[in-house]
Structure 1
């Protein structure tokens, strides 16, 4: 018996990174997974591999959300869970951040999460679950990621409000707050054919060895297991909470 047997779960940004690992794990645990992304070729290939359904979803657009929900309902009759995973990261000091760049991050991370909750929750079965992907930076500051941190703080607040409003229907809403995770978001060189992604990864690993008490960058599979916990009955009495998964980063700085 899988922990998600019989459940229908939509995962945004599901074509790669954390979303891909969430989709893989959820399918292995018995869920009927809807992989949603703008990376159509990669997302379809993943869906074919794990026996899931793929749908194109631009999380910034209301019509795209309605289409994704309709696709899921037509295929499976309902939706029981949503993982708002899609997100982008831009590095810039606040005073050097163009408004267009700031709003780009807001539209994907913050508006995308809001539209997901607003679109899917009314159609969700009572007793469903929503997992919003926030960040370590949604609970603490970090230089050079002001737009990203602002949206992730907003997601934590949105999660708490949604949890209160949806509790009468038994729908639980929680947030994950990952620290540094080994995905293309944390190592953009992995997506650049001209870059040495391996060398960049080594440099980042050295950095995280100093910053993270556990001495390493996190793995997307580890975040997926937290998403599974928050989507399954293992967390049946938990709602409205941010869950930090950061190797101890938020706990403080080690002097050794």
Structure 2
């Protein structure tokens, strides 16, 4: 079958939807999460409020779509970087994932803030849907990195051995146990620590707290990753 071609109407609708999302991120950059509203976007685009509501019925619908889009883009980039490294190089795969998170965040600071930082006042995320799927996909990817490293890391994590599944959110525990049968709760505890170390310095950099203190934030991040890998008993291939 030949490739389907979008109709002119559908193409224009897709372009308008993309412009709405881009302006929403611009408004957030200029005025914080409070600045995101459908009426403000409509004014900037020269549209009527009624016209923009035909694209997104509510502000929360728009925010949910934004979170889904940017989160999925981030996870896809991290997965692609990870998969470019051989599976028998767990240290290299951790590095690839972590460095891609930082690179993506620097290129998309408002997207990073939307997913990991500033809550949009009054926003209530849906219990399921694409945004939730992206979150679970990120969890699976990061836990998979730790699962591959677990044979090397486990002897170095005595403080985590007493963890039980009851220490975690039931939904998170159920998801990890389904995706990684046999993985102990200590490995999930380690996953959360790895996540914190990967994202902590990135968040400081995105929010402007790091660059004023150090000349080269990338070098600081690489030092943190080197220490992280050592704590996991890993070393990337040269």
TM-score range, shorter chain: 0.3 to 0.5
Task: State which structure, 1 or 2, has the greater radius of gyration over its C-alpha atoms.
Answer: 2
Structure with greater proportional helix content: 2
Q: TM-score, normalised by structure 2?
A: 0.32
TM-score (norm 1): 0.31
Task: Give the number of the structure whose residues are more often strand, by fraction.
Answer: 1
